[in-house]
Structure 1
């Protein structure tokens, strides 16, 4: 079809040139030549639109305008371009056909299949607990799955649920929150009693380190807040230093001191503690993010990628992936 349109455009273009030559001899009116030129331009525009849609779907309007104006305003040049394009299509066909870009429909959510999805369960659970528009029964069912979330996430969420408008949610959140806090505090009381009764330095260092870890659990799980949180952080430092005075090779306690210093916005002290933890064998990839945090708090942004270099080439937890992409790209 488009070959016939191309031949028609060439023929009309030739007639327009012929009538224009007669106009130069003053034997014909110029308007007749202009009409032939207009017809040739229309045929050329239709031809280009018809031919271009096979490879450029949805762009026929721009192709028509391009061919029409090209042939209307540049008679001889337009005729040459149309002829060369037609010959190129005939004698130089494309080696392979470029597949057309197709639009796919938007995915449709099937509510009955949501329960079978295993990934992202934590985020869905958080969304259900925070959505006050859901019924009380649906939110209570979500509270049952709260145990599957990491402790540092569930603790902060439980604290927010203590002020929930639904009484059953508040009572259940308080029960879970109080049970977790009481369990750790009970272990702290037992460890303190054993610490008072300890006789050797090694036993004292082990129990003091255990107390530092238990107080850190209260902070890590977001079970303490405000001034009580500050007091708990001081206890972490006190028992950690007490244990390290008797055994300085406990890398995990140097790590807790570094984390505590970061919370207190003491990046220089934190870097020193984290460096001591690495000296005593603490895994470098677990320290990388916190060393980078010390650089960031000190405003040494150029040093952040260097501190994160230990994360390259290893399977890191998903929370570190956005950090890696930001600083390494």
Structure 2
């Protein structure tokens, strides 16, 4: 209703401004009367049009109404007609809106536990590392650490170690406590096995030695031991696995001994343990990746391709061997 009165007033003042030009009066007075009446008309027209505009076109102030006023004031007659032609059809005959096929939503928070778990988490830790490196919110980085609780230790520990360098105290303390918990659990199992070893005899003693070798190896394999501690852990693992083999432990101990020797840089010993494992009945396809790794460490790159070709075809199509097959074969 207000807009109609504003438009009516704008029309009347616009007619009055043009009527002043045809009156018998001095040019200066006629020009002043024309400009005044035309200016009032432009103000009323701009106000009326501005009230009818959708909210998204009304702001920012004062530029929206000032633009309409400028069109009407600086382009007499044609400006007002142009505003009317541009605005009124759009107001009363709006374009039909197409159905929106998608909705914009906010970025969801990182869950404390995986919503969907895959059997193979080998390639799912990169996203959490990116969160720890780039997320500005400490709470999101803490959430990333909580998400590692459902991951294998081999994949989660590098993420926790990365969090130890985080600038936020909460993130560092949480990462340290989670690492310490895993290390404490393994050390506790080692202490229990050492107590059992004191009273063990015969085959049971060989099994306890094998268990100790596995737990010491676990500390090294997971990266929980470094430097001189790593050397000590590997030596303990080798001593116990050799004792287990000497007392008739199972064929898996040969493979464990080979992996320990590889980690210590004893490639000849690792090669011999793999041969012993094969003689003990371990499937060759289980040993071939380690043989290829030894060949790589020796620089015998021709042997790598020969060893990988002996793996089953379906095995070469699955990670991590798919990438190796593409490169070496």
Distance 2:273 2:220 in 1: 18
- Higher alpha-carbon deviation: 115-124 or 159-168: 115-124
1:73-222 matched pairs, under 5 angstroms: 121-131=124-134, 133-198=135-200, 200-222=201-223
Distance 2:191 2:296 in 1: 38
Shift in Å at residue 118 of structure 1?
6.8
- Evaluate the alpha carbon distance shift between residue 121 and residue 297 of structure 1 in structure 2; reply closer, same or farther with a 3 A threshold: closer
Distance 2:126 2:309 in 1: 29
Q: Which residue of 2 aligns with 1:43?
A: none
Gaps of 5+ in 2: 1-103
Gaps of 5+ in 1: 1-108
Distance 2:230 2:130 in 1: 27
For residue 214 of structure 2, give the secondary structure of its aligned residue in structure 1. helix
Q: Which residue of 2 aligns with 1:284?
A: 284
1:225-304 matched pairs, under 5 angstroms: 225-248=226-249, 250-304=250-304
- Higher alpha-carbon deviation: 152-161 or 187-196: 152-161
TM normalised by structure 2 equals 0.61
- Evaluate the alpha carbon distance shift between residue 215 and residue 118 of structure 1 in structure 2; reply closer, same or farther with a 3 A threshold: closer
Deviations 1:92-132 (A, max 9, x none): xxxxxxxxxxxxxxxxx98758988877543222221232x
Shift in Å at residue 208 of structure 1?
0.4
Distance 2:243 2:300 in 1: 32
TM normalised by structure 1 equals 0.61
Tell me if structure 1 keeps the 8 A contact 2:258–2:269.
yes
Distance 1:327 1:299 in 2: 14
Structure ID, larger Rg: 2
Distance 1:326 1:257 in 2: 29
Distance 1:215 1:117 in 2: 33
1:17-28 matched pairs, under 5 angstroms: none
Tell me if structure 1 keeps the 8 A contact 2:213–2:241.
yes
Shift in Å at residue 148 of structure 1?
2.5
Tell me if structure 1 keeps the 8 A contact 2:128–2:159.
no
Shift in Å at residue 279 of structure 1?
1.9
Shift in Å at residue 157 of structure 1?
2.5
